[in-house]
Structure 1
């Protein structure tokens, strides 16, 4: 699996690095699309050229990190996030009136959706190690079991101490011992069963 990761990460990162370099070389056509897309969403963009350059820089940087295997989960998530506005700005197939252009834009849009899915898989890849959620669940379960064993041991010690005190004491001490036995038993009964 490690070999597969070393091969697929650079393959997945390549389109983003290439697209980021293309956007830095020719940002004006993308800036026009970004401005119209932002206007439709009601998001004020003062300098669409700066937004395009910033997005391109993020794509090159995160793509490079992903290709090198550095912070791959974070890089995948950043690339997936940067893919959304770029796709909506560049491949709005629903706006095309020419059937041939519409089909081409739809194909590009579908490819971007596929890349988005692959990046989400990359963002979730834990390299075969348990996820943080799994580790938290098992730690909680282990802690609960440890507490259960500890209380069970303590209850046994309490019973032994009560028996020791009660054996040489008067009837009043014996009544107190029975009450303490009862309290220890009820505390043990309230523990969640495994």
Structure 2
């Protein structure tokens, strides 16, 4: 892995590791801001599986743990593409709950939340780039297509060889029949 790629992943993951650890230890402070979002998400989670806890504090902890683990995976380069996708997914509710600038009447608070909202949007863009990064190696789609083309060429070669050998065998048999013996 190139040093720039490694450094960029560590820099991108830092916010998720730090805030994930902080929010995992102390989720109570986020409950008031997160409640409107978790109240909308809870019924969807309940429809998926009724035994999954949907209280706001538990959802904050789950999001925080996901960000902590995903951030560490991204930083270390282990499963970095899936980790980036998961982190992008956690960033959406975090941003909606934490920085709803459209709800602020105070211009200073509105401006502050708008800046943080746009910062998170930038992080989302970086995560999407990290999720798409194949480190210069061909992606799965290209490799599958290349393997299929290679297999087709191999089959065509095998068919040509079999035809050639069949023609040779027919000629040999015809020659053998013509010879007195």
* Partner Cα distance (1:40, 1:86) in 2: 14
Aligned to 1:22: 22
Which of the residues 60, 66, 77 maps onto 2:68? Answer: 60
Aligned to 1:35: 35
Alpha-carbon distance, 1:2 to partner: 0.9
Which of the residues 107, 126, 129 maps onto 1:118? Answer: 126
Aligned to 1:12: 12
Q: Which moved more, 1:59-68 or 1:147-156?
A: 59-68
* Partner Cα distance (1:143, 1:64) in 2: 39
Aligned to 1:81: 89
- The superposition leaves residues 158-192 of structure 1 with CA deviations (integer Å, 9 ceiling, x where unpaired) of 2223334445669xxxxxxxxxxxxxxxxxxxxxx
Larger Rg: 1
- The superposition leaves residues 50-90 of structure 1 with CA deviations (integer Å, 9 ceiling, x where unpaired) of 11112112212221222233332232222112111111111
* Partner Cα distance (2:114, 2:170) in 1: 79
Could you tell me the TM-score, scaled by structure 1's length?
A: 0.76
Does the aligned pair in 1 maintain the 2:37–2:96 contact within 8 Å?
yes
Q: 1:102 is paired with a residue of what secondary structure?
A: helix
Alpha-carbon distance, 1:13 to partner: 1.0
Q: 2:149 is paired with a residue of what secondary structure?
A: helix
Relative contact order higher in (CA < 8 Å, ≥ 6 apart)? 2
Aligned to 2:112: 104
Unaligned runs of 5+ in 2: 47-52
Could you tell me the TM-score, scaled by structure 2's length?
A: 0.81
Q: Does 1:163 align with 2:171?
A: yes
Shift in CA distance, 106/38, structure 1 to aligned 2, threshold 3 Å: same
Q: 1:50 is paired with a residue of what secondary structure?
A: helix
* Partner Cα distance (1:40, 1:99) in 2: 27
* Partner Cα distance (1:46, 1:69) in 2: 32
Number of matched residues? 170
Aligned to 1:145: 153
Unaligned runs of 5+ in 1: 171-194
